[in-house]
Protein backbone atom coordinates (compact mmCIF):
# COMPACT_ATOMS: atom_id res chain seq x y z
CA UNK A 1 0.00 0.00 0.00
CA UNK A 2 1.25 3.48 -0.89
CA UNK A 3 0.04 6.55 1.00
CA UNK A 4 1.16 9.59 -0.92
CA UNK A 5 0.55 13.24 -0.08
CA UNK A 6 1.12 16.33 -2.20
CA UNK A 7 2.76 19.49 -0.83
CA UNK A 8 4.74 21.45 -3.42
CA UNK A 9 1.78 23.16 -5.08
CA UNK A 10 0.31 24.09 -1.73
CA UNK A 11 3.48 25.85 -0.66
CA UNK A 12 3.50 27.97 -3.80
CA UNK A 13 -0.13 28.96 -3.50
CA UNK A 14 0.22 29.75 0.20
CA UNK A 15 3.09 32.12 -0.47
CA UNK A 16 1.04 33.95 -3.08
CA UNK A 17 -2.01 34.18 -0.80
CA UNK A 18 0.02 35.66 2.06
CA UNK A 19 0.90 38.66 -0.12
CA UNK A 20 -2.73 39.04 -1.20
CA UNK A 21 -3.87 38.74 2.42
CA UNK A 22 -1.59 41.62 3.44
CA UNK A 23 -3.15 43.91 0.85
CA UNK A 24 -6.65 42.75 1.71
CA UNK A 25 -6.26 43.29 5.48
CA UNK A 26 -5.02 46.85 4.85
CA UNK A 27 -8.02 47.59 2.65
CA UNK A 28 -10.40 46.06 5.18
CA UNK A 29 -8.90 48.10 8.04
CA UNK A 30 -9.16 51.37 6.08
CA UNK A 31 -12.69 50.51 4.97
CA UNK A 32 -13.71 49.80 8.57
CA UNK A 33 -12.38 53.18 9.76
CA UNK A 34 -14.20 55.06 7.00
CA UNK A 35 -17.44 53.14 7.62
CA UNK A 36 -17.31 53.64 11.40
CA UNK A 37 -16.96 57.41 11.02
CA UNK A 38 -19.81 57.55 8.55
CA UNK A 39 -22.14 55.42 10.70
CA UNK A 40 -21.86 57.95 13.53
CA UNK A 41 -22.58 60.82 11.13
CA UNK A 42 -25.54 59.02 9.52
CA UNK A 43 -27.19 58.13 12.85
CA UNK A 44 -27.08 61.78 13.95
CA UNK A 45 -28.42 62.93 10.59
CA UNK A 46 -31.25 60.37 10.54
CA UNK A 47 -32.42 61.39 14.01
CA UNK A 48 -32.42 65.07 13.03
CA UNK A 49 -34.29 64.31 9.79
CA UNK A 50 -36.74 61.86 11.39
CA UNK A 51 -36.12 59.33 8.60
CA UNK A 52 -36.50 55.60 9.28
CA UNK A 53 -35.10 54.79 5.83
CA UNK A 54 -31.96 56.77 6.66
CA UNK A 55 -31.72 55.18 10.11
CA UNK A 56 -32.19 51.75 8.50
CA UNK A 57 -29.36 52.57 6.14
CA UNK A 58 -27.22 53.54 9.14
CA UNK A 59 -28.08 50.21 10.76
CA UNK A 60 -27.03 48.38 7.62
CA UNK A 61 -23.84 50.45 7.57
CA UNK A 62 -23.18 49.36 11.14
CA UNK A 63 -23.43 45.72 10.09
CA UNK A 64 -20.98 46.63 7.32
CA UNK A 65 -18.58 47.87 10.00
CA UNK A 66 -19.09 44.64 11.93
CA UNK A 67 -18.57 42.58 8.77
CA UNK A 68 -15.38 44.42 7.80
CA UNK A 69 -13.90 44.03 11.29
CA UNK A 70 -14.76 40.34 11.43
CA UNK A 71 -13.32 39.71 7.97
CA UNK A 72 -10.13 41.53 8.90
CA UNK A 73 -9.77 39.48 12.09
CA UNK A 74 -10.49 36.20 10.30
CA UNK A 75 -7.72 36.82 7.77
CA UNK A 76 -5.28 37.67 10.55
CA UNK A 77 -6.33 34.52 12.43
CA UNK A 78 -6.03 32.28 9.35
CA UNK A 79 -2.32 33.12 9.13
CA UNK A 80 -1.62 31.37 12.43
CA UNK A 81 0.17 28.02 11.98
CA UNK A 82 -1.38 24.63 12.59
CA UNK A 83 -1.19 23.17 16.10
CA UNK A 84 -1.51 19.73 17.68
CA UNK A 85 -5.18 20.43 18.37
CA UNK A 86 -5.90 22.24 15.08
CA UNK A 87 -3.99 20.36 12.40
CA UNK A 88 -5.61 22.39 9.59
CA UNK A 89 -4.73 25.64 11.33
CA UNK A 90 -7.35 28.36 11.61
CA UNK A 91 -8.56 28.43 8.01
CA UNK A 92 -12.16 27.75 9.07
CA UNK A 93 -12.23 31.08 10.95
CA UNK A 94 -13.01 32.79 7.65
CA UNK A 95 -15.98 30.47 7.07
CA UNK A 96 -17.39 31.14 10.54
CA UNK A 97 -16.92 34.87 9.99
CA UNK A 98 -18.77 34.76 6.69
CA UNK A 99 -21.65 32.92 8.36
CA UNK A 100 -21.76 35.45 11.20
CA UNK A 101 -21.82 38.32 8.71
CA UNK A 102 -24.69 36.77 6.78
CA UNK A 103 -26.69 36.16 9.96
CA UNK A 104 -26.30 39.79 11.01
CA UNK A 105 -27.87 40.75 7.69
CA UNK A 106 -30.89 38.61 8.51
CA UNK A 107 -31.23 40.17 11.98
CA UNK A 108 -31.03 43.73 10.66
CA UNK A 109 -33.63 42.91 7.99
CA UNK A 110 -36.06 41.69 10.65
CA UNK A 111 -35.55 44.84 12.73
CA UNK A 112 -36.12 47.08 9.68
CA UNK A 113 -39.38 45.26 8.87
CA UNK A 114 -40.64 45.77 12.44
CA UNK A 115 -39.85 49.49 12.39
CA UNK A 116 -41.26 49.97 8.89
CA UNK A 117 -44.60 48.40 9.84
CA UNK A 118 -44.80 50.74 12.83
CA UNK A 119 -44.15 53.75 10.54
CA UNK A 120 -46.82 52.57 8.09
CA UNK A 121 -49.33 52.57 10.94
CA UNK A 122 -48.12 55.90 12.30
CA UNK A 123 -46.47 58.02 9.53
CA UNK A 124 -43.85 60.60 10.55
CA UNK A 125 -42.80 63.73 8.66
CA UNK A 126 -39.36 63.36 7.08
CA UNK A 127 -36.76 66.03 6.18
CA UNK A 128 -36.24 64.93 2.60
CA UNK A 129 -33.28 67.15 1.73
CA UNK A 130 -31.16 65.80 4.60
CA UNK A 131 -32.11 62.26 3.65
CA UNK A 132 -30.99 62.71 0.03
CA UNK A 133 -27.69 64.39 0.89
CA UNK A 134 -26.63 61.84 3.52
CA UNK A 135 -27.75 58.85 1.43
CA UNK A 136 -25.79 60.17 -1.55
CA UNK A 137 -22.62 60.36 0.57
CA UNK A 138 -23.28 56.80 1.77
CA UNK A 139 -23.70 55.62 -1.81
CA UNK A 140 -20.30 56.90 -2.92
CA UNK A 141 -18.57 55.57 0.21
CA UNK A 142 -20.03 52.07 -0.18
CA UNK A 143 -19.24 51.93 -3.88
CA UNK A 144 -15.64 52.97 -3.18
CA UNK A 145 -15.18 50.23 -0.56
CA UNK A 146 -16.94 47.61 -2.70
CA UNK A 147 -14.62 48.32 -5.63
CA UNK A 148 -11.61 47.99 -3.33
CA UNK A 149 -12.75 44.52 -2.19
CA UNK A 150 -14.13 43.24 -5.51
CA UNK A 151 -10.98 41.40 -6.65
CA UNK A 152 -10.45 39.34 -3.50
CA UNK A 153 -14.20 38.70 -3.15
CA UNK A 154 -14.01 36.39 -6.18
CA UNK A 155 -11.75 33.99 -4.26
CA UNK A 156 -12.76 34.35 -0.61
CA UNK A 157 -16.21 33.70 0.84
CA UNK A 158 -15.10 35.69 3.89
CA UNK A 159 -14.26 38.82 1.90
CA UNK A 160 -17.27 38.17 -0.35
CA UNK A 161 -19.58 38.39 2.67
CA UNK A 162 -18.14 41.81 3.50
CA UNK A 163 -18.29 42.80 -0.18
CA UNK A 164 -21.99 41.87 -0.34
CA UNK A 165 -22.60 44.00 2.74
CA UNK A 166 -21.12 46.99 0.90
CA UNK A 167 -22.93 46.32 -2.39
CA UNK A 168 -26.19 45.80 -0.53
CA UNK A 169 -25.77 49.05 1.33
CA UNK A 170 -24.93 50.91 -1.90
CA UNK A 171 -28.22 49.67 -3.36
CA UNK A 172 -29.97 50.57 -0.11
CA UNK A 173 -28.57 54.10 -0.36
CA UNK A 174 -29.99 54.42 -3.88
CA UNK A 175 -33.38 53.44 -2.50
CA UNK A 176 -33.13 56.01 0.28
CA UNK A 177 -32.22 58.76 -2.21
CA UNK A 178 -35.27 57.83 -4.30
CA UNK A 179 -37.49 57.84 -1.21
CA UNK A 180 -36.16 61.26 -0.25
CA UNK A 181 -36.89 62.59 -3.73
CA UNK A 182 -40.45 61.22 -3.65
CA UNK A 183 -41.08 62.83 -0.27
CA UNK A 184 -39.52 66.11 -1.40
CA UNK A 185 -41.70 66.49 -4.48
CA UNK A 186 -44.95 64.81 -3.30
CA UNK A 187 -44.83 65.07 0.51
CA UNK A 188 -45.79 61.38 0.53
CA UNK A 189 -44.01 60.46 3.79
CA UNK A 190 -45.15 56.86 3.59
CA UNK A 191 -42.50 56.35 0.88
CA UNK A 192 -39.95 56.21 3.70
CA UNK A 193 -41.20 52.98 5.41
CA UNK A 194 -42.12 51.41 2.04
CA UNK A 195 -38.54 51.88 0.89
CA UNK A 196 -37.37 50.35 4.17
CA UNK A 197 -39.46 47.22 3.54
CA UNK A 198 -37.98 46.84 0.06
CA UNK A 199 -34.47 47.23 1.47
CA UNK A 200 -35.18 44.64 4.17
CA UNK A 201 -36.26 42.15 1.52
CA UNK A 202 -33.11 42.75 -0.50
CA UNK A 203 -30.88 42.44 2.58
CA UNK A 204 -32.43 39.11 3.56
CA UNK A 205 -32.17 37.76 0.01
CA UNK A 206 -28.51 38.78 -0.39
CA UNK A 207 -27.54 36.93 2.80
CA UNK A 208 -28.98 33.58 1.68
CA UNK A 209 -26.23 32.58 -0.76
CA UNK A 210 -23.54 33.17 1.88
CA UNK A 211 -25.45 31.21 4.53
CA UNK A 212 -25.97 28.29 2.14
CA UNK A 213 -22.31 28.21 1.06
CA UNK A 214 -20.86 28.45 4.56
CA UNK A 215 -23.20 25.81 6.00
CA UNK A 216 -22.21 23.46 3.16
CA UNK A 217 -18.55 23.93 4.07
CA UNK A 218 -19.16 23.38 7.79
CA UNK A 219 -21.11 20.19 7.02
CA UNK A 220 -18.17 18.89 4.94
CA UNK A 221 -20.29 19.09 1.79
CA UNK A 222 -18.96 18.73 -1.73
CA UNK A 223 -17.52 22.06 -2.98
CA UNK A 224 -20.05 24.20 -4.82
CA UNK A 225 -20.06 23.48 -8.54
CA UNK A 226 -17.98 20.31 -8.35
CA UNK A 227 -19.28 17.21 -10.15
CA UNK A 228 -18.03 14.27 -8.09
CA UNK A 229 -19.21 11.71 -10.64
CA UNK A 230 -17.14 13.35 -13.36
CA UNK A 231 -14.19 13.59 -10.98
CA UNK A 232 -14.47 9.87 -10.17
CA UNK A 233 -14.64 8.96 -13.86
CA UNK A 234 -11.57 11.10 -14.58
CA UNK A 235 -9.64 9.26 -11.87
CA UNK A 236 -10.75 5.89 -13.25
CA UNK A 237 -9.64 6.91 -16.73
CA UNK A 238 -6.02 7.27 -15.61
CA UNK A 239 -3.65 4.53 -16.81
CA UNK A 240 -3.14 1.81 -14.23
CA UNK A 241 -6.29 2.53 -12.18
CA UNK A 242 -8.71 -0.42 -12.01
CA UNK A 243 -11.17 0.80 -9.39
CA UNK A 244 -11.86 3.63 -6.96
CA UNK A 245 -13.56 3.62 -3.58
CA UNK A 246 -13.78 5.55 -0.29
CA UNK A 247 -13.80 8.83 -2.22
CA UNK A 248 -14.38 12.02 -0.22
CA UNK A 249 -14.11 15.63 -1.41
CA UNK A 250 -14.68 18.60 0.89
CA UNK A 251 -13.81 22.25 1.39
CA UNK A 252 -11.56 23.22 4.29
CA UNK A 253 -11.63 26.96 3.58
CA UNK A 254 -11.44 29.40 0.68
CA UNK A 255 -9.52 27.89 -2.24
CA UNK A 256 -8.49 24.92 -0.07
CA UNK A 257 -10.26 21.76 -1.22
CA UNK A 258 -9.25 18.37 0.17
CA UNK A 259 -9.69 14.89 -1.32
CA UNK A 260 -9.04 11.39 -0.07
CA UNK A 261 -9.62 8.06 -1.79
CA UNK A 262 -8.42 4.47 -2.26
CA UNK A 263 -7.27 3.24 -5.67
CA UNK A 264 -7.11 -0.34 -6.87
CA UNK A 265 -4.17 -0.56 -9.27
CA UNK A 266 -3.21 -3.00 -11.99
CA UNK A 267 0.41 -3.02 -10.83
CA UNK A 268 1.11 -2.52 -7.15
CA UNK A 269 4.90 -2.42 -6.98
CA UNK A 270 6.04 0.77 -5.22
CA UNK A 271 7.50 2.51 -8.27
CA UNK A 272 4.46 1.90 -10.49
CA UNK A 273 2.02 2.84 -7.71
CA UNK A 274 3.85 6.08 -7.00
CA UNK A 275 3.80 6.96 -10.71
CA UNK A 276 0.03 6.40 -10.96
CA UNK A 277 -0.61 8.44 -7.81
CA UNK A 278 1.39 11.38 -9.13
CA UNK A 279 -0.47 11.18 -12.44
CA UNK A 280 -3.82 11.28 -10.64
CA UNK A 281 -2.72 14.23 -8.53
CA UNK A 282 -1.58 16.20 -11.54
CA UNK A 283 -4.98 15.64 -13.11
CA UNK A 284 -6.77 16.72 -9.90
CA UNK A 285 -4.68 19.88 -9.76
CA UNK A 286 -5.08 20.78 -13.44
CA UNK A 287 -8.78 20.02 -13.86
CA UNK A 288 -10.24 20.54 -10.39
CA UNK A 289 -7.69 22.77 -8.59
CA UNK A 290 -7.36 20.22 -5.80
CA UNK A 291 -3.89 20.51 -4.27
CA UNK A 292 -4.53 18.73 -0.97
CA UNK A 293 -5.03 15.07 -1.91
CA UNK A 294 -4.38 11.90 0.11
CA UNK A 295 -4.46 8.75 -2.01
CA UNK A 296 -3.94 5.16 -0.88
CA UNK A 297 -3.25 2.34 -3.31
CA UNK A 298 -4.12 -1.30 -2.76
CA UNK A 299 -4.00 -4.65 -4.49
CA UNK A 300 -7.54 -5.65 -3.46
CA UNK A 301 -10.87 -3.91 -3.19
CA UNK A 302 -13.10 -3.28 -0.17
CA UNK A 303 -16.70 -4.11 0.57
CA UNK A 304 -17.77 -0.50 0.13
CA UNK A 305 -18.67 1.40 -3.02
CA UNK A 306 -17.08 4.51 -4.47
CA UNK A 307 -18.66 6.69 -1.81
CA UNK A 308 -18.29 4.53 1.30
CA UNK A 309 -20.67 4.92 4.22
CA UNK A 310 -19.20 6.46 7.34
CA UNK A 311 -20.19 6.14 10.96
CA UNK A 312 -21.33 2.51 11.20
CA UNK A 313 -18.76 -0.06 12.43
CA UNK A 314 -17.84 -2.75 9.91
CA UNK A 315 -19.51 -5.50 11.96
CA UNK A 316 -22.82 -3.62 12.00
CA UNK A 317 -22.65 -2.94 8.24
CA UNK A 318 -21.95 -6.64 7.59
CA UNK A 319 -24.93 -7.70 9.73
CA UNK A 320 -27.16 -5.16 8.04
CA UNK A 321 -26.22 -6.26 4.54
CA UNK A 322 -27.06 -9.87 5.32
CA UNK A 323 -30.50 -9.21 6.73
Q: For residue 4, what pLDDT is reported?
A: 52
DSSP 141-180: HHHHHHHHHHHHHTT-HHHHHHHHHHHHHHHHHHHHHHHH
Domain contains 257: yes
What pLDDT sits at residue 200? 80
Structural domain contains residue 76: yes
pLDDT tens, position by position, 203-258: 788 788 788 888 888 888 888 788 889 999 999 999 989 989 889 999 887 668 88
Q: Does residue 125 sit in the same domain as residue 239?
A: no
Give yes or no: residues 119 and 196 share one domain. yes
Instruction: Identify the domain containing residue 70 by its residue range.
Output: 14-218
Q: Are residues 259 and 173 part of one domain? A: no
Question: What is the Cα–Cα distance from 142 to 175, expressed in whole angstroms?
Answer: 14
Domain boundary among 218, 240, 256: 218
**Closest residue by Cα to residue 138 from 177, 92, 104, 112:** 177
In a domain, 259, yes or no: yes
pTM of the shown model: 0.63
Ranges of the chain whose pLDDT falls below 50 = 1-3, 5-20, 311-323
* In a shared domain, residues 194 and 244: no
In a domain? residue 272: yes
What pLDDT is attached to residue 26? Answer: 79
Q: Does 177 lie in the same domain as 253?
A: no
Task: Decide if 173 contacts 142 (C-beta within 8 A).
Answer: yes
CATH label of the domain that carries residue 200: 1.20.1510.10
Give the three-state DSSP class for 96.
Answer: helix
pLDDT value of residue 21: 52
Kindly state whether residue 142 falls inside one of the protein's structural domains.
yes
Count of the separate structural domains present in the chain: 2
Is 35 exposed, middle or buried, given 0-12, 13-18 or 19+ CB atoms closer than 10 A? Answer: buried
Q: Are residues 210 and 239 in the same domain?
A: no
CA 136/CA 64 separation, integer angstroms: 17
Q: What pLDDT is attached to residue 17?
A: 46
Amino acid sequence: MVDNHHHSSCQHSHGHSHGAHGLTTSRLALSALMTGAFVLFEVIASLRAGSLALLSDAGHNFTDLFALCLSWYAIKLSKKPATDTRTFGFHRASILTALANALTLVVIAIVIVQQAVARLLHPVEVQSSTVMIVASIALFLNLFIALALRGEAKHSVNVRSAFLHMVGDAIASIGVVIAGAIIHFTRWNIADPITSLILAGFIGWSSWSIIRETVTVLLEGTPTGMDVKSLANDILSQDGVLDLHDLHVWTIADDLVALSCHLLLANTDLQSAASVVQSVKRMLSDRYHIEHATIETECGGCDGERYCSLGAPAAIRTQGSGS
